[in-house]
């Protein structure tokens, strides 16, 4: 470490943090929200065994899980314009990340739904509840508690995965580091600084996950 390198890292830190809070976090939050909606919908269709739609859901999961996220980003951002479909970089990243992670989270939610004893669904019918009411008040709350660790792991993975948005010109934290490095040529130091920021934030999320698991475990035991 020398004075020049310390000055570069010191000057770069606020720029990186600005992009982290204004681009990386919003991108993560919006993508995760979309993924959660998709996963719940797909999992419920599979749980209910809706003919036709169940097969479509399996095809969706198969395609998304068997193709790289990077290829999906390129296909949507650089490929769809040839069909006349133009999307800005940020919405493209949100859509692609949401659809991609939704496929993985859907399998976690499906497994959690199937882990709920089937007798609870029958009991709900016996007391006059509708299917959607049973799902909302009985089945889904238990499924979310079971799937919480897997869903939170998906959130942590998505925080790190947002760095791939740099390849479609989204100026999030990693791309900002690339821009800065283009001026100062200190790749190792700058990318290490980015890695440490990711490490610190994901470590915080891990602590929150553990706290949440303990709370949910205590709540489940109280019930």
104-143 pLDDT tens trace: 999 999 999 999 888 888 888 888 888 888 888 889 999 9
Average pLDDT for 185-189: 93
Q: Structural domain tally of the chain?
A: 1
65: domain range?
Answer: 3-222
Ranges of beta strands (E only) in the chain are none
Identify the band that residue 223 occupies on the pLDDT scale cut at 50, 70 and 90: very low
pLDDT tens for 4-63 read 999 999 999 999 999 999 999 999 999 999 999 999 999 999 998 888 899 999 999 999
Alpha-carbon distance of 173 to 129, in angstroms, equals 48
CATH number of the CATH domain containing 128: 1.10.3720.10
Long-range pairs of 190-194 with CB within 8 A, sequence gap ≥ 24: 190/8, 190/9, 190/12, 193/9, 193/12, 193/13, 193/16, 194/16
Query: Sign of the C-alpha dihedral, residues 101, 68, 206, 18?
Result: negative
Residue pair 149/209 in contact by the 8 Å Cβ criterion: yes
**Pairwise pLDDT comparison (221 vs 197), residue with the higher score:** 197
Neighbours of 84 (CB within 10 A): 6
Q: Which of 73, 36, 66 has the alpha carbon at shortest distance from 168?
A: 73
Q: What is the value of pTM for the model shown?
A: 0.91
């Amino acid at each position: 470490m020398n004075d020049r390198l310390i000055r570069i890292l010191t000057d770069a830190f606020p720029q990186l943090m600005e992009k982290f809070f204004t681009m990386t976090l919003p991108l993560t939050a919006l993508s995760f929200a979309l993924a959660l909606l998709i996963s719940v919908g797909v999992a419920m269709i599979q749980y209910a065994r809706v003919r036709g739609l169940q097969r479509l859901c399996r095809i969706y999961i198969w395609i998304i899980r068997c193709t790289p996220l990077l290829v999906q980003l390129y296909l949507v951002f650089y490929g769809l314009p040839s069909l006349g479909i133009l999307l800005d970089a940020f919405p493209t990243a949100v859509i692609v990340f949401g659809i991609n992670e939704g496929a993985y989270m859907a399998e976690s939610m499906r497994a959690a739904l199937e882990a709920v004893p089937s007798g609870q669904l029958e009991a709900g019918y016996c007391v006059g509840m509708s299917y959607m009411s049973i799902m909302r008040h009985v089945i889904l709350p238990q499924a979310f508690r079971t799937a919480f660790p897997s869903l939170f792991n998906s959130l942590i993975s998505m925080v790190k995965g947002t760095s791939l948005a740099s390849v479609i010109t989204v100026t999030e934290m990693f791309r900002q580091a690339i821009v800065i490095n283009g001026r100062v040529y200190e790749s190792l130091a700058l990318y290490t600084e980015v890695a440490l920021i990711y490490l610190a934030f994901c470590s915080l999320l891990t602590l929150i996950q553990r706290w949440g698991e303990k709370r949910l475990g205590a709540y489940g035991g109280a019930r």
